[in-house]
Amino acid sequence: MLEDLFSKVKTRASYDKPRAQKGKMSIPENLMFKCPRCGKVEFMDAFLLGNKVCPNCGYHARLTAQERIEQIADNFTFIEYDKHMKSLDPIDFPGYPEKVYHLRRKTGLRDAVITGECTVMGSPCAIGVMDTRFMMASMGSVVGEKITRLFEQAESRRLPVVLFTASGGARMQEGIISLMQMAKTSGAVGRHSKQGLLYITVLTDPTTGGVTASFASLGDIIIAEPKTLVGFAGRRVIEGTIKQRLPEDFQSAEFAQEHGFVDLIVERSAMRKTISQLLKLHQTGGANNGKDSLG
């Protein structure tokens, strides 16, 4: 609380400072929004009210995990799991603990995923949301463990899982331990699935590398936000291998759908309703069919 007060004072001070910008119109940062894709300047209010979607071209800006949960979960229903889990430094990689420490302070996150449970338009589910602000949401021990526990918890509570993925891949700073999280999470998805429980993946920008090659590709139903980057290898790596430029839409959600790897592309404004509809369609059948209804 006391801290908040100080940070506010600081913001105000820097805000009042006249910025030297030669010949440029100075636009206060929080009044207008300039779309990085279409370049059009819009009122920030319009952008924010549309859940960070450009009112002009439909560009979906990345959301923080908190913003995503606010948008998807029914008010006051989200209960967070494993809130205090933090990574250590398994291979003694120089600078890694410092980097993680500063990101914790900066983002308020403990690592790159928030997990928990909530209801979506009345339907209960386990939910996980990855956040790219934290080391590009790379998967190390904490992401692997929290996602594994999410599926295990959902399995024992007989809940469907809705997972918003985003990641640059495995967290190299944790060495081989991070690679093993791919097997661990995929194993947990498999056990949850065997119980006849539903898993919905929502691919958000960017979903790549070891996360694409594990739980992100294993949903019963795979949704993507429009124009989301979805792929295994990085664009520059592929360009380096084949020595030519790749087309603009390569590895977009639309590309993935065209090649059969995405069920549906859903705009952010329709996401909550779509998820709720899918959850309701699965309230009978599978694990919820008859004999074991006490769960």
Residues that bind another protein (CB under 8 A): 82, 84-94, 97-98, 101, 104, 141-142, 144-145, 148, 170, 172-184, 186-191, 193-194, 209-210, 212-218, 231-234, 237-238, 241-242, 246, 250-251, 259-261
Minimal distance in Å, beta carbon 125 to another protein? 20
Spatial separation of the C-alpha atoms in residues 186 and 209, rounded to whole Å = 14
Of 53 and 182, nearer to another protein (C-beta) is 182
Contacts of 127 (CB under 8 A, 6+ apart): 69, 72, 73, 78, 115, 116, 117, 118, 161, 162, 163, 164
Spatial separation of the C-alpha atoms in residues 50 and 63, rounded to whole Å = 12
Of 190 and 285, nearer to another protein (C-beta) is 190
Contact, 143 vs 182, CB < 8 A? no
Minimal distance in Å, beta carbon 185 to another protein? 8
Minimal distance in Å, beta carbon 184 to another protein? 5
DSSP state for residue 54 in the 8-state scheme: -
Q: Which amino acid is at 139?
A: M
Of 153 and 276, nearer to another protein (C-beta) is 153
Of 104 and 133, nearer to another protein (C-beta) is 104
Spatial separation of the C-alpha atoms in residues 37 and 54, rounded to whole Å = 9
Minimal distance in Å, beta carbon 156 to another protein? 15
Of 87 and 204, nearer to another protein (C-beta) is 87
Minimal distance in Å, beta carbon 233 to another protein? 3
Cα dist from 240 to 79, 140, 218, 244, whole Å? 44, 27, 29, 8
Contact, 225 vs 268, CB < 8 A? yes
In degrees, rounded to 5, the angle at the alpha carbon of residue 48 between the alpha carbons of residues 26 and 231 is 100
Minimal distance in Å, beta carbon 111 to another protein? 8
Of 35 and 182, nearer to another protein (C-beta) is 182
